[in-house]
Chains A and B, each alone.
Chain A
Amino acid sequence: AQTVTQSQPEMSVQEAETVTLSCTYDTSESDYYLFWYKQPPSRQMILVIRQEAYKQQNATENRFSVNFQKAAKSFSLKISDSQLGDAAMYFCAYRSYDSGGSNYKLTFGKGTLLTVNP
């Protein structure tokens, strides 16, 4: 079974600074998806960024980028120029690419609560 580990329960960053959230995972599969989801206090889970395992290039979405190290099974999220609106719980998640029921399961890490200080 796949597991996702986020070793930082809480992080804080000063506004306009850069912060990196860590995520490691364990899988025996070669094809899969990795995601970072953001859940602000308003509750809705919002996709921040996605990475497909077969793509070597690290994904980037505006101020958000990932460092995907497939061999090391590491998938960290870098937030540049942090803004107050970035404050939220961030979940790293894994999804199998295979057929069958396992494809539907999104395995979440325990989350990292990010605080942005003005």
Chain B
Amino acid sequence: DTEVTQTPKHLVMGMTNKKSLKCEQHMGHRAMYWYKQKAKKPPELMFVYSYEKLSINESVPSRFSPECPNSSLLNLHLHALQPEDSALYLCASSQRRRQNTGELFFGEGSRLTVL
């Protein structure tokens, strides 16, 4: 059973749509991540939240807007996306440094298709 839950599993949207991806974890982790993954490629880091504050933005276009409403939830708001944004979007969480085993726990991902 995955401990990081992502919804929806699949999403198809047009370039003018507004949609959101959601991620939830109940492991008490205080760091949460969004990754983008293209087929047969490694995940690429997009955003990191630490204690509900944005810690890292890897120069992601503004059509992707992250939000961390509380320590268990992470959203990714999508607006005016391009077809090249079609990918698997992975959410992950981890414990804080020096309290942890270092690993990231990943969700199953949301498969996004932009038409």
**Interface residues, chain A, CB within 8 Å of chain B?**
33, 35, 37, 42-47, 50, 52, 89, 91, 95, 97, 99, 101, 103-106, 108-111, 113
Contact = CB atoms under 8 A, between A and B. Distances in A.
A42 B90 CA distance: 13
Interface stretch (B12-20, B42-50, B71-79): B42-50
A33 B31 CA distance: 17
A50 B92 CA distance: 17
Contact of B97 (A45, A50, A99, A110): A99
Given A43-B88, A44-B109, A50-B102, A108 B42 contact: yes
B97 A103 contact: yes
B56 interface: yes
For the complex of A and B, the 7 pairs showing the least CB-CB separation, nearest first, are: A108-B42, A33-B102, A45-B106, A44-B108, A104-B48, A43-B109, A103-B97
Contacts, number: 59
A101 B104 contact: no
B102 A35 contact: yes
A44 B89 CA distance: 11
Given A101-B56, A104-B33, A105-B45, 17 more contacts: A33-B102, A33-B103, A35-B102, A43-B88, A43-B111, A45-B43, A45-B106, A50-B101, A50-B103, A91-B42, A95-B104, A101-B48, A104-B48, A105-B56, A108-B43, A111-B40, A111-B41
Given A43-B88, A104-B55, A105-B56, A110 B108 contact: no
B106 A44 contact: yes
B72 to A, nearest CB: 18
Contact of B40 (A35, A42, A89): A89
